[in-house]
Structures are given as structure tokens and as C-alpha cells.
Amino acid sequence: MIVSLAPEKDRVWITPTPAPQPTPSATDITNLLDQAQKLEKVQKRLEALRLYLAVLRLEPQNKAAAIAVAHIQDEVLNMLVQRLGYSLETRDVEASRSVLSQIEKLTPTDKRIADWQKQIDALSKP
């Protein structure tokens, strides 16, 4: 807490000092990585991805987490592209839009998005 006295000695300003944020320990990071790897092994990729991303927030230079994030994102993207292909083949406009939205969140700069959007727009025309 910081206390400062104004020129008029009858005023006192009290400014709260933010509490220091605890620094994560190497053990914390190791535990998160272990949990993420266990989740990944049992095919719970999205949960694992969340933990890997938490590791990267705590330790941005963590190579194991960065590699895992890239790998999981690639797997999820491939799965979404397959789902989108199926929904386009079956002419399911709502499902196609939903899947395309997920793809855009994962890879907003993917050059295929505009083409997929055109295909969905074409399906939605009578």
C-alpha cells in the first residue's frame, strides 16, 4: 500500500498496490505437460490443447508445448476439413457453415476459406 500526503497535510491518499502474481514453478509446468500428454493419449485432444496453451502462456518458449499445439491443431484442422467436405457433399448448409466457422477460428488466414464460403453460398441458393 502506498500512502502519500498532499501539500495540505489534512489529506491522505491511499492507493492499493496490486498483489504480485506468483511465478509458476518448473513443477507446475511439468505437471500441466504431463496432464496434457495423458489427455492426448486418450484422444481428448481439445482438453490437451487447452493445457498445452496454458503452458505456453506461462512459459512461451516451451518447445514441447509448442510442438504439441501445432500437431493437435493440424489434426483438428484435418478433421474439420473432412467434416466440411462431407457436409458439402450432403448439401447440409447449416453444418457446413458451422464447420467453416470452426475452421476460421483455428486458421483465419487459410486461403481455402473463400472457396468454401462460395460453395456454401451456392448451396443455399434455391
Can you say whether residue 103 is alpha, beta or left, with left for phi > 0 and alpha for psi between -120 and 50 degrees? alpha
- State the DSSP H helix or E strand holding residue 102, giving kind and residue range, or none if neither: helix 93-106
Judge whether 41 lies within some domain: yes
Domain containing 103 — which CATH number? 1.25.40
Judge whether 8 lies within some domain: no
Judge whether 19 lies within some domain: no
Judge whether 73 lies within some domain: yes
Domain that holds residue 72: 25-124
> What's the total number of domains in the chain?
1
Judge whether 87 lies within some domain: yes
- State the DSSP H helix or E strand holding residue 15, giving kind and residue range, or none if neither: strand 12-15
Judge whether 40 lies within some domain: yes
Judge whether 68 lies within some domain: yes
pLDDT tens-digit profile, the chain (126 residues): 554 555 555 555 566 666 666 677 888 899 999 999 999 999 888 889 889 999 999 999 999 999 999 999 898 899 999 999 999 999 999 999 999 999 998 888 999 999 999 999 999 887
Give 3's Cβ-side CA count (13 Å radius): 4
Judge whether 20 lies within some domain: no
Q: What is the pLDDT of residue 69?
A: 93
